[in-house]
Homo-oligomer: A and B are copies of this chain.
Amino acid sequence: MQLIGYQTSNQGTHTFFGYDPATGQPAGPAYTEATSAEVDQAVTLAQQAFDPYRRLSAAARADFLEAIAEEILALGDPLLQIARTETALPEARLTGERGRTVGQLRLFAELLREGSWVQARIDHALPDRVPAPKPDLRQMLLPIGPIAVFGASNFPLAFSVAGGDTVSALAAGCPVVFKAHPAHPGTCQLVGEAIVRAANRLSLPEGVFSMVHGVSTTPGMALVEHPAVKAVAFTGSFRGGKALFDAAARRPEPIPVYAEMGSTNPVFFLPDILKERGAGLAQAYIQSLTLGVGQFCTNPGVAVLPPDQEDFANETARLLAATKGGYLLTEGIRQAYLAGIGNLTEKAAVLGAGVTDDDRQVKPVVLETSVSAALEDDHLTEEVFGPSSVLLRAESTDDLYAFARSLGGHLTATVHGTEKDLREYADLLHILQTKVGRIVLNGFPTGVEVSHAMTHGGPYPSTTDARTTSVGTKAIERFVRPVTFQDFPDFLLPEALREANPLTIWRLVDGHMKQ
């Protein structure tokens, strides 16, 4: 059922079902793919809502985000149950993910109430300057319009209907039209209805949020191509993200696409730390690569090992043999995983593999090959979405550096090293600064904190826009642009720019930060 403003709609004829990964069977009732007319209706309402919504106070938008959090919690156990059926993710993980989702809403509400995120800048006039007077200039970030948000399959709550993209767009003052992920339509439906209830409760303009279903690419493309849509946010595959990017660039009015398309998140193990605690690292590596059945965007899909580390390799193989696999989110992901592993085994040796409870589960797999082989054949280090990783054996320090320099854009890179290692390999850290959005020392990349200093993004092809993050408060900057008000009388200025600073926000005044 599409949620179009405060109405529901089901005009289409193309139906589909959610999917239970544990049984491989359809789950829940039939859902109807949105028609182009329904997409148009949703975007048109969003466009109409934009003006009244963006004029609301930041506090009113914060109330909205908090109301969404309340409505999601009020859904109670049925939300977790349906998400569990549609994803086969364990309950503890889903409970944690709900907590993350609600926490994210509250963090953005806090950001709005604090208010400094608008980056207000004031340059006072110099009427007597020669040869020409200097005008009074005041700049702040303002929302850009309706945003199309595409839900990810792998986080049915935190990167879905009320996930970081939706929340940061709504926080910025932009209405959202959400494209539900067809792998968990029932979860989407419940959360979508919760957002609509929150909007309704606060009498927000109709169309501030809508949600459309779809299993083909048609409704999503209709969204991206709609002239009133002003930006796109997406988390998913490279193929999907790149198709949206291309469509957006071809529009009569090109628009930004913030597609987070995953990466292999290379992990570098350095010699000294392997001596110190190689066995513990092997265990942590396997834990990270099997977290959520390996379905994290930040899964460590590639690791680099210095020469002569048979102990680490053997320990990895030994531990892996006792490691359980799990159900992948969709049949498509499962088939792609099996095919990907199949292709890799033609080129690389299997170092070790885990176990499964039944035939529908997939095994975690670690393959091994040399850095030089990986440098010659890019396919060896391409992402295989799921619980797998390729261990690359470096034959020398030069090998390790050559691999680091050859990297394309990734979300993260990780280095494990003692202080001695890190001093010795300081150049590695410098190289990685130009390759990724986040560098992790002595940890693992899975686990993406929602906070102010998080960057979940990185150079192409990990995303289509490295200037940004899709997790953390800085994500709000994707949906705004600077606007300057020249020589405005105080009463006509937005509150953030008024001389007396009624919002008590931090502002750059004549080049000095002031509150």
How many whole Å from A430's CB to the nearest CB in chain B? Answer: 7
A499 to B123, CA, bound (A): 31
Q: Does A449 contact B (CB under 8 A)?
A: yes
Q: Which of A377-429 contact B (CB under 8 A)?
A: 408, 419, 422, 426, 429
Q: Which of A451-482 contact B (CB under 8 A)?
A: 451-455, 457, 459-461, 464-469, 474, 477, 480-482
| A467 touching B256, Cβ below 8 Å | yes
| A441 touching B134, Cβ below 8 Å | no
Q: Does A98 contact B (CB under 8 A)?
A: no
A492 to B123, CA, bound (A): 37
How many whole Å from A460's CB to the nearest CB in chain B? Answer: 5
* Residue of A122, A452, A515 with most partner-chain B CB within 10 A: A452
Task: Type the 1/0 row for A117-154, where 1 means its CB is closer than 8 Å to any CB of B.
Answer: 00001110000000110110111001011000000000
Other-chain residue from B453, B483, B506 in contact with A455 (beta carbon distance below 8 A): B483
| A489 touching B455, Cβ below 8 Å | no
Q: Does A484 contact B (CB under 8 A)?
A: yes
Residues of B within 8 A of A460 (CB): 253-255
How many whole Å from A240's CB to the nearest CB in chain B? Answer: 16
| A419 touching B486, Cβ below 8 Å | no
Residues of B within 8 A of A433 (CB): 142, 483
Give A96's nearest chain B residue, CB to CB: B131
Given the known interface contacts A464-B254, A492-B426, the answer about A486 and B137 at a Cβ–Cβ threshold of 8 Å is no
| B508 touching A449, Cβ below 8 Å | no
Q: Does A270 contact B (CB under 8 A)?
A: no
A408 to B230, CA, bound (A): 13
A256 to B485, CA, bound (A): 26
| B452 touching A121, Cβ below 8 Å | yes
How many whole Å from A389's CB to the nearest CB in chain B? Answer: 19
Given the known interface contacts A249-B249, A492-B422, the answer about A484 and B454 at a Cβ–Cβ threshold of 8 Å is yes
Residues of B within 8 A of A480 (CB): 467
| B453 touching A139, Cβ below 8 Å | yes
| B515 touching A513, Cβ below 8 Å | yes
Q: Does A17 contact B (CB under 8 A)?
A: no
Q: Does A447 contact B (CB under 8 A)?
A: yes
Give A251's nearest chain B residue, CB to CB: B460
| B453 touching A487, Cβ below 8 Å | no
Residues of B within 8 A of A467 (CB): 256, 467, 477, 480-482
How many whole Å from A480's CB to the nearest CB in chain B? Answer: 8
Q: Which of A82-138 contact B (CB under 8 A)?
A: 96, 110, 114, 116, 121-123, 131-132, 134-135, 137-138
Q: Does A16 contact B (CB under 8 A)?
A: no
| B436 touching A508, Cβ below 8 Å | no
Q: Does A437 contact B (CB under 8 A)?
A: yes
A96 to B130, CA, bound (A): 11
A116 to B422, CA, bound (A): 28
Q: Which of A147-200 contact B (CB under 8 A)?
A: none
How many whole Å from A408's CB to the nearest CB in chain B? Answer: 8
A474 to B447, CA, bound (A): 32
| B513 touching A437, Cβ below 8 Å | no
Task: Type the 1/0 row for A194-211, where 1 means its CB is closer than 8 Å to any CB of B.
Answer: 000000000000000000
Q: Does A51 contact B (CB under 8 A)?
A: yes
| B440 touching A486, Cβ below 8 Å | yes
Given the known interface contacts A121-B452, A452-B511, the answer about A487 and B440 at a Cβ–Cβ threshold of 8 Å is yes
| A466 touching B144, Cβ below 8 Å | yes
A455 to B140, CA, bound (A): 9
Give A486's nearest chain B residue, CB to CB: B440
Residues of B within 8 A of A506 (CB): 513
* Residue of A114, A121, A245, A482 with most partner-chain B CB within 10 A: A482
Q: Does A34 contact B (CB under 8 A)?
A: no
| B482 touching A474, Cβ below 8 Å | yes
Q: Does A434 contact B (CB under 8 A)?
A: yes
A514 to B439, CA, bound (A): 24
How many whole Å from A442's CB to the nearest CB in chain B? Answer: 6
Given the known interface contacts A131-B96, A506-B513, the answer about A483 and B438 at a Cβ–Cβ threshold of 8 Å is yes
Other-chain residue from B256, B465, B485 in contact with A439 (beta carbon distance below 8 A): B485
- Closest 5 pairs (CB-CB, A-B): A137-B453, A455-B484, A121-B453, A249-B249, A139-B453
Apart from A441-B487, A466-B481, 12 more pairs, CB < 8 Å: A121-B474, A135-B440, A138-B453, A139-B474, A144-B459, A255-B460, A422-B489, A437-B483, A455-B483, A455-B484, A459-B481, A506-B513
A-B contact pairs, 7 of them (CB 8 A): A144-B459, A253-B461, A437-B483, A443-B487, A452-B508, A452-B510, A467-B480
